[in-house]
Structure 1
Amino acid sequence: MKPLPFVLSRDWLFALVIAFLCCALYLLDLSPAPPAETGLHSRALVTAVDNSQVRVNLIVKTEDQFLRVRLLDGPCEGQELDVTNILTGKMELDEFYEKGQVILVEYGVQNGKPKNAMARGYYRLDLQLLLIGIFVALLIAVAGVTGLKASLSFVFAALVLWKLFFPLLLLGYPPIPTGLALVALLTLVITLSVGGLNRRGIATFTGSMLGVLLTCGLAVWFTDALHLHGAVRPFAETLLYSGYYDLRLTDIFIASIFIASSGAVMDLAMDIAASMDEIKRKHPDIGLVEHLTSGLRVGRAVIGTMTTTLLLAYSSSHIAMFLLFMAKGLPGVNILNAPFVAAEVLNILVGSFGLITVAPFTALVAAFLYRASLRAGISR
């Protein structure tokens, strides 16, 4: 059998390493809080609905909705029981069910019979898994082994945040250094898995981290200058009331700024590094200054569209808030001066600084890395 090319073998090896790291992170448990005592969970079909106790005030529903459901899986599959759906009056949290719908039910078991059941929302896990499967399949079909590594990197990033970053913050670790360390880890794994274990990957990682460090510095400076604090984020105050009084919410807010922009920064750095790599491959005798100038020219073109990326991403998630301000007829000066709006402006603009500067950073690093002619077999 003909041996696999070195680059392909290296790609598969790197994919296996990421898969191993994902498994290790999945098994890791650093959460400082003991697991909440919960019962069994099961899909359930709503067979009857009792809305007699529900109180309706305009569009807000409160009190309890009583359901009769049939369990569709689990140790009590096929059995029926009564379920209480507690309505709090908050539309972003409440769900109102009808007969024939499939919901998630949490319940206990006594003498082989389900009891004390609570509704936990429409059952969505199957469709979420379907979306993930389609996403991974499409990525692999389009990009091959690179798509496989990108999929694993996606899972790895989610696990790093969920299994490392969030628990470490609750354990009292400083948010900014911890965030920078984990962003460096994510950037290293993602850029080297997509860009490869070569000068293109190294240029992407170095340029990305320079952009992230600049974003972090600006976030620290302007957060203090604008007199902002971390409590402007949703659920931050609730987190303090949950017993974590020593959390540094402002530092967590700052960390969220450079973490949120790191993905776009990596994207732009990869574009520049890949362009610099292709230029050197096509013109191996190109000089340092000319190579750098070509990379900056590509960077200018990409920055023209990337500068609106964070604006559209962040502002679109607050459409309802802006609509409320407009509906109330508030003047623009009041809106822009509000702390939570100022926090989003800071998020957008400081993140965009990182995007703008990562192009020259990456081009400069790549130009020096590719100063010598590429040797055969490592041109990718």
Structure 2
Amino acid sequence: MTALRREWLFSIVISIICVVLAFVDVAHIQGAPIGLHAKAVVTAADNTHVRQNLIVKTEEQLLAVQLLNGTHTGQELSVVNMLTGKMEFDEFYEQGDVILVEYGLVGGKPGNALARGHYRLRMQLVLIGLFALLLIAVAGVTGLKAMLSFVFAAMVLWKLYFPLLLRGYTPIGTGLGVVALLTAVITFSVGGLSRRGTATFIGSMMGVLLTCGLAIGFAQAFNLNGAVRPFAETLLYSGYYNLNLTGIFVASVFIASSGAVMDLAMDIAASMDEIKSKRPEISFVEHVRSGLRVGRAVIGTMTTTLLLAYSSSHIAMFLLFLAKGLPAANILNAPFVAAEVLNILVGSFGLVTVAPFTALVAGVLYRRIG
């Protein structure tokens, strides 16, 4: 079997796995009944029970909606929109808004309905489609494989890793297994079943393992209990008292950085593959040195990747600290800020070290060529 056929067969297998995972039901982990969902348009809004204090709204907003899809298309029902006073969770609706409704069946008819936010699923699909078209237009077959890897990663996290955590599996061990699976699929799908893909995989996993070890050590040194992530406490109160939040936090550090680690490893492996193809007679030492020179150039820009990615998601938090006039010592010593510092710096360790790891591995793998 030729290398091209092996790669296409590999892609077909991954596609089949994605389809199978898409039909896996993860909504009944605790056996709780899950309601039906449908797109609906708001035909009337009753705000008489809503209380407003400055910009914060609380209590109930009563809506009349008409279902636009699903089994009960065209039927009308009353919907309760609970306003908690937290703007990051609440949404306020007006007549004509299109929303997502969750409802049950009462005597065979829709009832007990709740509003689940403005309807965004259609535009999300549009955005995903545009992203896929851009990938394919720019990178061709490689872009198609990259999109397949993107879908596979999302499916594995959503349908495999998260449910396993809720069932009590160890976060770090399971996380390393999931990252190894994702890294293998992504690197071999994009890099091919070749020395380039193998070098990328091994180099990436060496960087991830280093990141994991450092995350474990510094999480203990920083006295972080893992409850620094949003919704962690809510998750415990939802019945999952035995979850290892610190382990989940550590796993989130190396999982979050694994994508950037793979990116850098692929850059180094691809460069060394190209060098070897142009100069088959190059020595092992010079080949590795060439890979390291490429790595130094890439690391110069990659070191700020995690800093910009993580800090930008907490802009409002930093603005609040500055508005309150808190000194830098107070800000940096806060547990949730310390967690982000750990996330950024420990993840960056993996980024910096993956370049020499991959260069050395690629040098060994290409040693016998030519």
Q: Residue 200 of structure 1 aligns to which amino acid in structure 2? A: R
Of the candidates 174, 181, 185, which is equivalent to residue 185 of structure 1?
Answer: 181
The answer on 1:127 being equivalent to 2:123 is: yes
8 Å Cα contact 1:31-1:167 kept in structure 2: no
Aligned to 2:347: 351
Of the candidates 67, 74, 77, which is equivalent to residue 78 of structure 1?
Answer: 74
Aligned to 2:292: 296
The answer on 1:338 being equivalent to 2:340 is: no
The answer on 1:149 being equivalent to 2:122 is: no
Aligned to 1:284: 280
The SS at the match of 2:227 is: helix
TM-score of the two chains, using structure 2 as the length reference: 0.96
Which is further off, 111-120 or 181-190?
111-120
The answer on 1:11 being equivalent to 2:12 is: no
Matches within 5 A, 1:76-225: 76-110=72-106, 113-225=109-221
**Deviation at residue 133 of structure 1 after TM alignment:** 1.2
Distance 2:212 2:107 in 1: 57
The SS at the match of 2:21 is: helix
**Deviation at residue 27 of structure 1 after TM alignment:** 3.7
Aligned to 2:245: 249
Any gaps of 5 or more consecutive residues in structure 2?
A: none
The SS at the match of 1:231 is: coil
8 Å Cα contact 1:15-1:148 kept in structure 2: no
The answer on 1:226 being equivalent to 2:208 is: no
Distance 1:23 1:292 in 2: 40
**Deviation at residue 29 of structure 1 after TM alignment:** 5.0
The answer on 1:58 being equivalent to 2:33 is: no
CA displacement, residues 78-107 of structure 1 (integer Å, 9 cap, x when unaligned): 232222211111111110011111111122
Distance 2:210 2:28 in 1: 32
Change (3 A) 1:114 1:164: closer
CA displacement, residues 37-74 of structure 1 (integer Å, 9 cap, x when unaligned): 23332211112222111100011000111222222122
The SS at the match of 1:232 is: coil
Q: Residue 8 of structure 2 aligns to which amino acid in structure 1? A: W
Distance 1:172 1:116 in 2: 32
**Deviation at residue 364 of structure 1 after TM alignment:** 0.6
CA displacement, residues 162-203 of structure 1 (integer Å, 9 cap, x when unaligned): 122112212222111111111111111110000000000000
Matches within 5 A, 1:29-44: 33-44=29-40
Number of residues paired by the alignment? 370
Which is further off, 293-302 or 81-90?
81-90
Change (3 A) 1:31 1:347: same
Q: Residue 119 of structure 1 aligns to which amino acid in structure 2? A: A
Any gaps of 5 or more consecutive residues in structure 1?
A: 375-380
Distance 2:339 2:128 in 1: 32
Q: Residue 234 of structure 1 aligns to which amino acid in structure 2? A: P
The answer on 1:372 being equivalent to 2:331 is: no
The answer on 1:272 being equivalent to 2:256 is: no
Distance 1:323 1:262 in 2: 29
Q: Residue 82 of structure 1 aligns to which amino acid in structure 2? A: S
Please give the root-mean-square deviation of Cα atoms over the aligned residues, in Å. Answer: 1.7
Distance 2:239 2:35 in 1: 24
Of the candidates 230, 236, 240, which is equivalent to residue 232 of structure 2?
Answer: 236
Q: Residue 316 of structure 2 aligns to which amino acid in structure 1? A: A
Which is further off, 104-113 or 242-251?
104-113
**Deviation at residue 118 of structure 1 after TM alignment:** 1.7
Q: Residue 302 of structure 1 aligns to which amino acid in structure 2? A: V
**Deviation at residue 110 of structure 1 after TM alignment:** 4.3
8 Å Cα contact 2:45-2:62 kept in structure 1: yes
Distance 1:101 1:93 in 2: 17
Which is further off, 182-191 or 17-26?
17-26
Distance 2:171 2:114 in 1: 36
Aligned to 2:45: 49
Which is further off, 145-154 or 345-354?
145-154
Q: Residue 367 of structure 1 aligns to which amino acid in structure 2? A: G
Distance 1:237 1:16 in 2: 41
8 Å Cα contact 2:229-2:336 kept in structure 1: yes
CA displacement, residues 310-345 of structure 1 (integer Å, 9 cap, x when unaligned): 000000010110000000000001000111100100
Which is further off, 245-254 or 340-349?
245-254
**Deviation at residue 32 of structure 1 after TM alignment:** 7.2
Distance 1:114 1:191 in 2: 47
8 Å Cα contact 1:32-1:171 kept in structure 2: no
The SS at the match of 1:346 is: helix
Distance 2:23 2:239 in 1: 26
**Deviation at residue 109 of structure 1 after TM alignment:** 3.8
The SS at the match of 1:230 is: coil
